[in-house]
Amino acid sequence: MNTDNIIKIIGKMACRMEKEKLFLTELDNAIADGDHGINMAKGFAAVQTKTENLGEKDIGTVFKTVGMTLVSAVGGSAGPLYGTAFMRAGMVEANKTEMDINDFLSCMKAANEGVMMRGKSVYGEKTMLDSMIPALNEMEKAKADGLSPKAVLEAGVKAAREGVEYTKTIAATKGRASYIGERSIGHQDPGATSFTYLLEEIYQAL
């Protein structure tokens, strides 16, 4: 993939966040403050505007722009968390104008580490990481098994969706949903859900 391909995918992500705005907000409403869909749609709309003319730049610059825009345009925790994820991916892709599946997996690894550092969170706390971590693990396995990039992404999407299901079974110990603790059981995490949508857009673009 080149810079243009990636800018197109970011545009698709923005459309998807707009489309899922109400649903993500309902999910957040059930366990926290009901703004996740609004945050993601607003953040990615700003991201789309800021990235559409970066076709001549390297992929690192595009990811850094996405990250900084999400941090500044979105209040709450998801903006800075996803923003950190994209900024970390931007460091991996600095000065690169092409991206292959190995680069993508390096970006995802850096993104996961960024979220864990920024959120002081780990797997199993009912956050976006419950989809991000299994998705990365399964994609790395699929890559090691010699599967095609498309099959690697397919394995990631499957694991991310299973991660969303897993979040229904546990209580939140990080973020606003942790205020209601055990009462968050039975509800799926909004951030794990939005991450799954973003990964689905990458898969569909492949």
Residue 196 touches ligand ADP, criterion: CB under 6 A: no
Scanning 83-91, 136-144, 155-163, 174-182 for contacts with ligand ADP by CB under 6 A, the matching segment is 174-182
Give the Cβ contact number of residue 206 at 10 Å.
Answer: 16
Residue 78 touches ligand ADP, criterion: CB under 6 A: yes
Angle between helices 59-73 and 3-19 (to 10 degrees): 30
Under a CB-based contact definition with an 8 Å cutoff, are residues 187 and 158 in contact? no
Which residue has the CB atom at the shortest distance from ligand ADP?
Answer: 191
* Minimum gap (Å) between residue 26 Cβ and ligand ADP: 12
Whose Cβ is closer to Mg ion: residue 99's or residue 129's? Answer: 129
Residue 190 touches ligand ADP, criterion: CB under 6 A: yes
Residue 172 touches Mg ion, criterion: CB under 5 A: no
1, 6, 21, 28: which one contacts Mg ion (CB under 5 A)?
A: 28
Residue 128 touches ligand ADP, criterion: CB under 6 A: yes
- Rounded distance between C-alpha atoms, residue 9 and residue 202, angstroms: 6
DSSP character for 1?
Answer: -
Q: Pick the closest to residue 198 from 27, 64, 10 (CA basis).
A: 10
